[in-house]
Amino acid sequence: MSIFVVQKHQARSLHYDFRLEIDGVLKSWAVPKEPATDGTKRLAVQVEDHELDYADFEGIIPKGEYGAGTVKIWDHGTVKFVENTTGKMVFELRGKILKGTFCLIQFKGKNWLFFRK
């Protein structure tokens, strides 16, 4: 079973980094608002992949470095993929906060919709 993590990241602006383990890396999206548990759709902007060991990171990224600011783990757990095709992912999250079936659907370039089914 794969993992997921959501890191609350206070950089230039507060956002949530949503990360899914896929093919040995953490595929990552920046979500400007707190991930919803009720089906509300959130914008998720795909960003660069991260190494798996980044899933445990909490701390301060120093000023002057990319992503400077405070990072805290907001939620984490396991993910089981139901569908993973180009532009659409459906998966079950088993975390402390995010539980149930969720979707990521690509709609324009690096922009995706992230929501609970």
For residue range 14-66, list pLDDT tens digits in order: 999 999 999 999 999 999 999 999 989 999 999 999 999 999 999 999 888 88
Residues 113, 104: contact at Cβ < 8 Å? Answer: yes
How far apart CA 51 and CA 33 sit, in angstroms, is 24
Domain boundaries, the chain: 2-116
Task: Using pLDDT thresholds of 50, 70 and 90, give the confidence band for residue 68.
Answer: confident
What count of residues does the chain have?
Answer: 117
pTM of the prediction?
Answer: 0.94
Q: Running DSSP on this structure, what letter comes out for residue 56? A: G
- Half-sphere exposure in the Cβ direction for 9 (13 Å, CA): 22
Strand, coil or helix: what is 52? helix
